[in-house]
Amino acid sequence: MPFSARLSNCLKLLIVLTALSLGACMSSGPMTRADTPQARQAEQLASEGDLDAAARQFLALAEDSSGGASAHYRLRAAEVLRENGDLDGAARAIKEIRRNRLSADESFRLDLIDAEVSLERGDAERASLLLATNEDSIPDRLRLRYSELRARTASARGDRFAAARIRATLDAELDGHDRDINREQIIELLGALDDATLKGRAYSLRPDDALLPWIEQSLKLRGQTLPRDVPRPQRPVGTLIPNADNDLRREGFHAPRQVALILPLNGPVAGVSQSILDGFFAAYFSDDSRERPQLRTYDAGKSPEDALAAYAQAVGDGADFVVGPLLREAVGALFRQALPVRVLALNHPDTGEVPPHGSAEFGLLPDAEGAQAAERMLGLGITRAALIGAQTDWAERAGRAFRAQFESRGGSIVGESRLPESAFNYKSEILQAASAIADTSSGEGSARSAPADAGIFISMRPQQARLLVPQLKLAGINAPVFATSHVNAGELNAALDRDLNGVEFCDATWLFSPVPARPDRNAIARELASANGVGGRLFAFGMDAYALLPYMDWLLAHPETYLDGASGQLAADSFGRIHRVLTWARFVDGVTQPVQGALDPLPIQQGGD
């Protein structure tokens, strides 16, 4: 974005913030020391937008007054001139103000104008000195404007990271066009930092720092990723505890009254929606609670605008909780709105938005699976890994997440390759990725064995994996193989899946073992086609979307707790993102079985992430 456009956006945002703060100031009571008819007329002119006339009247009042009243009127003239875009005029107005004649509140407002004038004149150091204050003493109505000026000052002094961090904190207080401008500034500021600097700064932040999602987004635009904060919750929700009447209640349980489910019911993802919808209703009809909510289903259509219209209709129909939408573009568009009713979105937006306060996002992310595969391998003592993936977007995301997680924990990637979609012979790709971990022998005539510290991570569909795994063995590479859930076709086909024997993968718990308060998978699959194959994973996801509703507030407020879900253990972070901690399974004689000791999906390796 050209500098002039960036400056224009900053000024527009600051003017809007000032108008908001002045409006709050006027609505909170009289703001003049001399409540005269002329002063009230000047304030009326300012509120009506006749800023030139208001400024002239305030300056005339200042000339006709003395002491504190004169200083007050000059300050008001400066504020009105600044709101009108006349910073030179504002500078002239404050030049004759004596600070000792102002109240503490007025002195702070004077510093804000003086700091903005200093920035306009290229004196960022002076602006920084003027803004150095005890933040606890700042009036609430002026905090937005103060933060905006601090961000601009930090940027002018060359500290782009500090400027972005201030804007990330400011973001939660804005909406509409103002927030869009602020977000553009965050991405632009972070975009000016190189990869190493950005990652190093990210590692220094707390896991709940408001800037972290924006760093993730900035790196994502460059094809990079940060290690994920893999949740390690310790306490389940829903523990029965007595209330004041000694009746037992479930801790954290608060049922909604009317739920709207917004999904695209037609078009290319209608099949995905059907599996989610069937899972949601299966959980609903299995719920024998007296507090079961009313449900209504809405078509999210094919565009973000359709999804926004469906949300508005659901709110108008009385919903107090909305589940959906599903498409990433629609989720991003919804999160950019002021939401009167909380949302559990069924995907994560590509554009970096985090859910508004009280709402959450929940999805089946390949990135999370890649990171958990790295944790699993490291926990087993594997410190060298080959990485082989399909040529798809989701496989790339899983691969990047695996590399970031593995390397951040001290592991090393010995090689990497991608499998062409139409190829059948993977010899060159195998040598490129895994030749460094081929089987070795300890001496002449001794048997060859796989290195104990080596493993292979793959992210691909079962069709490619069934071709790859036998070819790895033919190439003399017998290191253990770990995969994302995509390797599991989700249905019994032992004849084909014997080629995957020994491969471990992470997936939804419900596909392998019973989950409390969820219907039996085999019984459901016999009745509903949408619970079979890869649809089973989506079906489990839909059941979990329903199960989250009464516990979402509790999970958001208590990150140490989890919900035993059909798709994994579910826990929330401070940004409103629901994470799944997955179960590990292995192909044995062509049949998937939970890995002994790994049915509990908590990662083996302990420590921060």
For residue 13, pLDDT over 50 is answered with no
Residue pair 535/275 in contact by the 8 Å Cβ criterion: yes
Higher pLDDT, 29 or 321: 321
Torsion on CA atoms 92, 98, 101, 107, rounded to nearest 10:
70
Q: What is the pLDDT of residue 283?
A: 95
* 587 φ, ψ (degrees, to nearest 5): -80, 120
Distance of alpha carbon 576 from alpha carbon 345, whole angstroms: 10
What are the residue ranges spanned by the domains of the chain?
3-157
Q: Side chain identity at 352, as an amino acid letter?
A: G
Q: What is the pLDDT of residue 41?
A: 92
Longest dimension (CA), the chain: 107
For residue 29, what pLDDT band results from cuts at 50, 70 and 90? very low
Q: Side chain identity at 555, as an amino acid letter?
A: L
For residue 135, pLDDT over 90 is answered with no
The alpha carbons of the chain give a radius of gyration, in whole angstroms, of: 30
Average pLDDT score, the chain: 89
Q: Other CB atoms closer than 10 Å to residue 606's CB: what's the count?
A: 9
For residue 31, what pLDDT band results from cuts at 50, 70 and 90? very low
Residue pair 591/599 in contact by the 8 Å Cβ criterion: no
Distance of alpha carbon 328 from alpha carbon 138, whole angstroms: 39
Q: Other CB atoms closer than 10 Å to residue 89's CB: what's the count?
A: 17
Of the candidates 269, 280, 262, 326, the one whose C-alpha atom is nearest the C-alpha of residue 531 is 280
Could you tell me which residues are beta bridge partners of residue 591? 588
For residue 202, what pLDDT band results from cuts at 50, 70 and 90? very high
Q: What is the pLDDT of residue 597?
A: 58
Q: What is the pLDDT of residue 447?
A: 58
Could you tell me which residues are beta bridge partners of residue 356? none
Distance of alpha carbon 517 from alpha carbon 472, whole angstroms: 41
Q: 309: which DSSP letter? A: H
Q: 240-242 and 248-250: which strand pairing? A: antiparallel
Q: Coil, helix or strand for 104?
A: helix
Distance of alpha carbon 585 from alpha carbon 98, whole angstroms: 75
Q: Other CB atoms closer than 10 Å to residue 270's CB: what's the count?
A: 13
For residue 546, pLDDT over 50 is answered with yes
Instruction: Tell me what the mean pLDDT of segment 104-124 comes to.
Output: 95
Instruction: Tell me what the mean pLDDT of segment 112-139 comes to.
Output: 94
Whether the bond into 325 is cis, omega within 30 of 0: yes
Of the candidates 557, 543, 593, 603, the one whose C-alpha atom is nearest the C-alpha of residue 261 is 543
pLDDT tens per residue across span 231-274: 888 899 988 888 777 778 888 999 999 999 999 999 999 999 99
**Tokens representing 199?**
């990652």
% helix, strand, coil for the chain, step of 5 = 50, 15, 35
Share of the chain above pLDDT 90, in %: 75
Question: Residues near 361 by Cβ (< 8 Å), separated by ≥ 6?
Answer: 331, 335, 344, 345, 347, 348, 349, 354, 355, 576, 577, 578
Distance of alpha carbon 345 from alpha carbon 332, whole angstroms: 10
Helices in 29-172 by DSSP H: which ranges?
A: 37-47, 51-64, 67-83, 87-95, 104-120, 124-130, 143-156, 160-171
Q: What is the pLDDT of residue 598?
A: 53
Q: Coil, helix or strand for 449?
A: strand
Q: What is the pLDDT of residue 33?
A: 54
For residue 4, what pLDDT band results from cuts at 50, 70 and 90? very low
**Tokens representing 100?**
């000792």
Q: What is the pLDDT of residue 177?
A: 86
Question: Residues near 159 by Cβ (< 8 Å), separated by ≥ 6?
Answer: none
Could you tell me which residues are beta bridge partners of residue 579? 571
For residue 22, pLDDT over 70 is answered with no
Question: Residues near 123 by Cβ (< 8 Å), separated by ≥ 6?
Answer: none
**Tokens representing 313?**
């209709």
Could you tell me which residues are beta bridge partners of residue 390? 419
Higher pLDDT, 242 or 80: 80
Instruction: Tell me what the mean pLDDT of segment 162-177 comes to.
Output: 91
Q: What is the pLDDT of residue 513?
A: 86
Instruction: Tell me what the mean pLDDT of segment 149-157 comes to.
Output: 96
From 221-235, 394-408, 568-582, the region with the lowest mean pLDDT: 221-235
For residue 380, what pLDDT band results from cuts at 50, 70 and 90? very high
Q: What is the pLDDT of residue 233?
A: 87
Q: What is the pLDDT of residue 76?
A: 94
HSE toward the beta carbon, residue 218, CA cutoff 13 A: 27
Select 3-157's CATH number: 1.25.40, 3.40.390, 1.20.120, 3.30.1150.
1.25.40
**Tokens representing 243?**
């209330």
Q: What is the pLDDT of residue 239?
A: 86
Q: What is the pLDDT of residue 230?
A: 79
Q: 577-581 and 360-362: which strand pairing? A: parallel
Q: Other CB atoms closer than 10 Å to residue 589's CB: what's the count?
A: 9
For residue 506, pLDDT over 60 is answered with yes
pLDDT tens per residue across span 347-359: 999 877 889 999 9
Stretch (H or E) spanning 546 = helix 535-548
Q: What is the pLDDT of residue 49?
A: 93
Q: What is the pLDDT of residue 249?
A: 85
Tell the residue number behind the tokens 């703060």, with chain if given: 21
